Amino acid sequence: MKVGVFDSGVGGLTVVKSLLEQKLFKEIIYFGDTARVPYGVKDKNTIIRYAVEALEFFKNFDIDILVIACNTVSAYALERLVQEADIPVVGVINPGAIALQNAFEDRDTNILVIGTKATVKSGNYETLLKQEGYKNITSIPTGLFVPIVEEGIFEGEVLDATMRYYFKDVKNIDAVILGCTHFPLIEKKISGYFGGAKCIHSGDAIVEYLQKNYNCDKNFERTSVQFFASDNPDGLKNVAREWLGDLLHE
């Protein structure tokens, strides 16, 4: 099977990492819209327009399924993409909410949802989890984590100060939904801030979801990955090498 992975930039590589680790596909086509990243501070209509344009790009590759790695795109454009595409399109939000349910049966679990301004504003995670009976959900936009991670900062006082800034009024968290593909890179620090809270990671969540719903369980020995970017493709490939390392067969 051949999967397309769409992201607003480099963040979706954390999802590719999970797909590679679990050997779900024979071929991965990754497209990051680095010329227009970030999406998370932009308007709903703009996000939808960009996502529909990305769909056109994937028509070049005869993919079997499209994974929307970006939480912001999943929140705003998934419905539209599902309508327009003639292949299955899967976002990360529904899988994330299901992963949380699998990990925490107790409906009194204290849940923190973090993401970009746009993702949190959409309220998608919150809506899904409330439908399932979860009562204690706090959502906080933590947009600065994105440029901090892109700056290559994964620990230290800038990150510590930013966590205190965002989380100063939040206590006793059991589970954190990492509602942005950049956040797995600082997962340990976020978990540590809340005394070891479990973090729900879009990449792991979507792997579970694909295995269960799309028969993606082939354990391909070798996955070929092609990377495309709307700006500075070499930059994207460098980040891919850094984040994915030995998982890439070059």
Q: Which is nearer to its own copies, 2 or 117 (CB)?
A: 117
Burial string for 5-15 (b: 16+ CB within 10 Å, else e) reads: bbbbbbbbbbb
x/- letters, 153..182, toward its own copies (CB under 8 A): x--xxx-xxx-xx-----------------
Residues 6+ apart with CB under 8 A from 64: 1, 2, 3, 87, 88
* Interaction of residue 238 with its own copies, rule CB under 8 A: no
Rule CB under 8 A: which of 216-235 touch its own copies? 230-232, 235
Which span sits near its own copies by CB under 8 A: 67-75, 96-104, 148-156, 239-247?
148-156
Distances (CA, A) of 92 to 177, 192, 204: 11, 24, 10
Q: Which is nearer to its own copies, 114 or 216 (CB)?
A: 114
Instruction: For residue 173, give both structure tokens.
Output: 């968290």
Instruction: Report yes or no: 115 and 137 within 8 Å, Cβ to Cβ.
Output: no
Instruction: Report yes or no: 187 and 178 within 8 Å, Cβ to Cβ.
Output: yes
Rule CB under 8 A: which of 33-52 touch its own copies? 34-37, 41-43, 46
CA–CA dist 211, 222 (Å, integer): 18
At closest approach, how far in Å is the CB of 235 from its own copies?
A: 8
The residues that touch its own copies, with contacts defined as CB under 8 A, are: 34-37, 41-43, 46, 143-144, 146-148, 150-151, 153, 156-158, 160-162, 164-165, 230-232, 235
